[in-house]
Amino acid sequence: MAGIGDTLAATYDFIVVGSGSGGSVVTRRLVEAGHEVLLVEAGGDGRGVPVLEDPRRWTEIAGTEWDWGLSYAPTPEVGGRAIAIPRGRVLGGSGTTNAMMWYRGHPSDYDRWVELGCSGWSWADCLTAFRRAETWAGGPSDLRGGEGPLRVAPPADPHPLALAMIEASGQAGHAVLDDPNGASNEGAAPANFNIDAGRRFGPVEGHLSGILDAENLTVALSTAALALLWQGDRAAGVRLCRDGERHEARASRGVVLAAGAFETPRLLIGSGIGPEPTLRALGVSVVAPRADVGDNLQDHPLVRGVNFAASRALPPPRDNGGGAILNWRSEPTRDKPDLHAFPVAARSATPALAERLSKADFAICVGLMGSKSRGRLTLTGATADGPLHIDPGLLSHPDDRKALRLGIEAIKDLARQPALAALTERRLCPTEEDDLDAFLALACGTFFHPCGTARMGSDDEAVTDPRLRVNGAESLWVADASVIPDIPSCNTHSVVTMIGERAAEFILEDA
C-alpha cells in the first residue's frame, strides 16, 4: 500500500484531499504519527520536469498541463478583462508552480484574526508553527527556524536590479533590512526563497519526498475528489474518480480538505455544506447549511507593472526573476505597511499592455497587501463539478484604487533615485500622460493569493472553527487558504504552510 500507486485500500485512518502547501504538511505529520493515510491529488507527478524545478521558469507554467487554467471573471473595475489565476495541478499543488516566495507579513495580521473570532491564532501562536516549518539559511533564532522541512534562503547571487532596488529604497528614505521575516517587515530587503542549490524546494521536496515510500502512505495521483461520503454528519470517506472510473475510499478517523480556495468550497457545496439555496438548486442533500461557503474571497491586486528601458544590458534573470522586496505605507497614518513592490528582470505586463511594452527591459511591480475588496465564488452549472464563477472584486473598494495610485507614484520616485536611475534609460509605462485610473484598470493583475472562501471564526456563519473543524460536521477539517478570515500582508505560501502545521497539531490532538 505504500507510496504512489494504482491500488486503493477500502479504508484508511485519514484521507487528505490536496497535496499543496497545507495538505503536504498534514500528510507528513499524520504519517510520522503512524496513521494510515491516503493522499488524493488531482494532478500528476511533476518530479523531474525542468519547467517545474527551475526557479527562473515558473512564469512558463501557466496554461500548461500543470495548471488548472482558471480565470477571474471580467469586471468593470479591471476594464472588463478576464484575469488568469494559475493554480497548480500537480503533486505539491501551487507550491510546485508558485514564485517560491517565503514571506510571513506583519505580526498584526494574525492578531487581527483573533479580533475576528479566531482564538489561538495570534502572532505568538502562529510564530511557533512558522519556525517549525523552516530551516532558515541564516540559522535558528527567536524568529526563525533551523530544523524544519522547508529550506529558506536569500538570493545566493543577487541580480544587479535587485541590489539597485534595495539601494534606491535606502536613498528614498526607506529602511534597509537584512531579513523581511525579521523583527520588522517595513523597508527593503533581499527576498526569502524556497530555493536550494538553484532548484525549487517546495512541498514535494520538503514534506513529501521523505515519506513517499512509507508503508502507511498511499498517494493517488490524477485522481479527482468528487464528494464526501457521510455517516450522518460524520465525514466517513471520499468519492473519487480516476481514469473515468469511480471509487470510494473510507476514512475511519476523518477527512482533511486541502484542495485550495476554489476546490475546497466546491467540494463542501457538492457534499451538502454551503448556501442552502445553492444546495437545493444542485439537488444536493443538505448536511449543514453554511451561507458563507464561497464568500469572503480575497486576493492581492498587483500592478504589472511600471516598466523601463535599461541604459545598459542587464544579466539574465536569476532566482525567480526578482530577488528583493520593499514594504511601505501608502499613508503615514496607517499602522503597518500596505504596499509591496519587487523588481522583475524582464518586461512585466498584462496581455492588455504587452504590445505597448515590447521594448521594456525591466519592471518594478507594485501590489496592495492591505486590500479591502472582497468577492465570491459561485457554481454556475447544474452540477457541483460544473464551471466556477470566480469574482475576487479586484479594485472594487475605492481605498484600494487610491492606495495603488499612491504606490505607482512611489515607484516613479524610487526610479529617480541614483541607484535605479543608473540602470534606466527611460520609463515606458505608465507615462506622465497616462490617466492612472485607466492604467490601473488595464495593468491590474493578481499575486495569485486567493483565500477566505471557507473562513474560520467563532460566529454562527463561520465555515470552520478555530481548530479548523468544519462547523456542522464531524471528523472533517480544512487545511488550506480558504480558512483565512482576513488576507495577510504577504505571499500566502508560508501562511498556508503554517496553517497546515497547526491543522496537523489539532487533528492529532482530536484523534
pLDDT tens for each residue of 491-503 = 999 999 999 999 9
User: Which helix or strand (DSSP H or E) is residue 304 part of?
Assistant: strand 301-310
Confidence class of residue 1 from pLDDT cuts 50, 70 and 90? very low
Q: Encode pLDDT of 404-438 as tens digits.
A: 999 999 999 999 999 999 999 999 999 999 999 99
State the average pLDDT over residues 363-370.
Answer: 97
Please answer whether residues 185 and 167 qualify as being in contact, where contact means their C-beta atoms are separated by less than 8 angstroms: no
Q: What is the pLDDT of residue 358?
A: 83
- Grid coordinates in use for 178? 537584512
Average pLDDT, the chain: 96
Q: Encode pLDDT of 16-35 as tens digits.
A: 999 999 999 999 999 999 99
Q: What is the pLDDT of residue 3?
A: 65
Q: What is the pLDDT of residue 233?
A: 96
3-state secondary structure of 361: coil
Residues written for the chain: 511
User: Which helix or strand (DSSP H or E) is residue 336 part of?
Assistant: none
Q: Is the pLDDT of residue 222 over 80?
A: yes
Q: Is the pLDDT of residue 2 over 70?
A: no
Please answer whether residues 451 and 392 qualify as being in contact, where contact means their C-beta atoms are separated by less than 8 angstroms: no
Q: Encode pLDDT of 321-366 as tens digits.
A: 999 999 999 999 999 999 999 999 999 999 999 988 888 999 999 9
Q: What is the pLDDT of residue 5?
A: 65
Please answer whether residues 79 and 72 qualify as being in contact, where contact means their C-beta atoms are separated by less than 8 angstroms: no
Q: Is the pLDDT of residue 236 over 60?
A: yes
In eight-state DSSP terms, residue 347 is -
Q: Encode pLDDT of 190-218 as tens digits.
A: 999 999 999 999 999 999 999 999 999 99
Which residue is catalytic, options 106, 300, 340, 449? Answer: 449
- Grid coordinates in use for 346? 524582464
Look up the CATH architecture of domain 3-45+202-296+452-510.
3-Layer(bba) Sandwich (3.50)
Q: At what angle do helices 123-133 and 107-115 cross, to 10 degrees?
A: 130
Q: Is 397 a catalytic residue?
A: no
User: Which helix or strand (DSSP H or E) is residue 477 part of?
Assistant: strand 476-478
Task: For the chain, give every domain's residue range.
Answer: 3-45+202-296+452-510, 154-191+299-446
- Grid coordinates in use for 36? 494510515
- Top CATH class, 154-191+299-446: alpha beta
Q: Encode pLDDT of 37-58 as tens digits.
A: 999 999 999 999 999 999 999 9
